[in-house]
Amino acid sequence: MTTHFLGDTTVLTGRTMRHVTRSLDTIITTAIVPILMMLMFVFVFGGAIDTGPVDYVDYMLPGILLITVASGVAYTAFRLFSDLRSGIFERFQSMPIARSGVLWAHVLTSLFANVISLVVVVAVALLMGFRSAAGVPALLGVAGILVLFTLALTWLAVIPGLTAKTMEGASAFSYPLLFLPFISSAFVPTATMPGPVRWFAENQPVTSIVNTVRDLFTQQPVGDDVWTALGWCVGILVVAYVVAMVTYRRKIA
């Protein structure tokens, strides 16, 4: 059964990967918006924001990386919605394949596309002056958190991809996700925010994830933020996966 699932998922992932590689503009588009934001914040607003001894490009890069992921997963919902509307799901139902492999193919493709976008954004950040003295374990920790965050948001994207009535609705879910980093520690210290806004910023998922990635990049002790970040990522991933699978089974029933 496991071999059957893995084989089917591999074949289906190859199919969705071909769609991405034939339209690399989606990956470029995903990376362009965060890069433009990074340029704007560093060269326009950066001089007015006090981040202490940390260069502003180093300070804000973790938030930009999360925005990159949030931008990328919108395409997962879009591709899934397109497949549903094209009737390909009905064709898959008539074949002896693992049903969950269809969703996993979209999720793995999203992970691959987002990793490429993240690499592009980091490369531009290096050109802008980003530097990190983090060792291999810390960099692996950053990569692990970003992969976990991407998986969590991708499974979240599967839900509107299955339930949306229009193409615009399928990808619109990402707008709140893009907004969250702006009310967090991603671009300014939360201590500068007014009371209620500061409370929200310090207790929403993005802040703990940003703080953890930033501390790993700068070789600072991660403290309790890493456990909070992992808790948020795993919690969102589990809930989104369960809801997505239930929604999918009802959709194809």
For the residues of 40-105, what is the DSSP string, one character each? Answer: HIIIIIGGGS--TTS-HHHHHHHHHHHHHHHHHHHHHHHHHHHHHHHTHHHHHHTSSS-THHHHHH
Cα(132)–Cα(148) distance, rounded to whole angstroms?
Answer: 21
218-239 mean pLDDT: 92
Cα(49)–Cα(186) distance, rounded to whole angstroms?
Answer: 12
Residue 127 pLDDT more than 90?
A: yes
**Of all helices (H) and strands (E), which one includes residue 170?**
helix 167-172
Residue 168 pLDDT more than 50?
A: yes
Give the confidence band of 12 by pLDDT, cuts at 50, 70, 90. low
Determine whether 218 is exposed, middle or buried from the number of CB atoms within 10 Å of its CB (0-12, 13-18, 19+).
Answer: middle
Mean pLDDT of the residues in the chain = 83
Cα(67)–Cα(186) distance, rounded to whole angstroms?
Answer: 10
Give the confidence band of 15 by pLDDT, cuts at 50, 70, 90. low
Give the confidence band of 1 by pLDDT, cuts at 50, 70, 90. very low
**How far, in Å, are 6, 149, 191, 213 from residue 142 at the CA level?**
27, 11, 24, 6
Higher pLDDT, 2 or 252: 252
Give the confidence band of 90 by pLDDT, cuts at 50, 70, 90. low
Closest C-alpha among 178, 186, 112, 123 to residue 147: 112
CB 232 within 8 A of CB 211: no
Cα(70)–Cα(72) distance, rounded to whole angstroms?
Answer: 5
Give the confidence band of 212 by pLDDT, cuts at 50, 70, 90. very high
Total count of residues recorded for the chain: 253
**CB atoms near residue 179 (< 10 Å):** 12
pTM of the model: 0.88
- 21-30, 144-153, 231-240: the lowest-pLDDT one: 21-30
For the ranges 62-71, 81-90, 244-253, the maximum mean pLDDT occurs at 62-71
Give the confidence band of 7 by pLDDT, cuts at 50, 70, 90. low
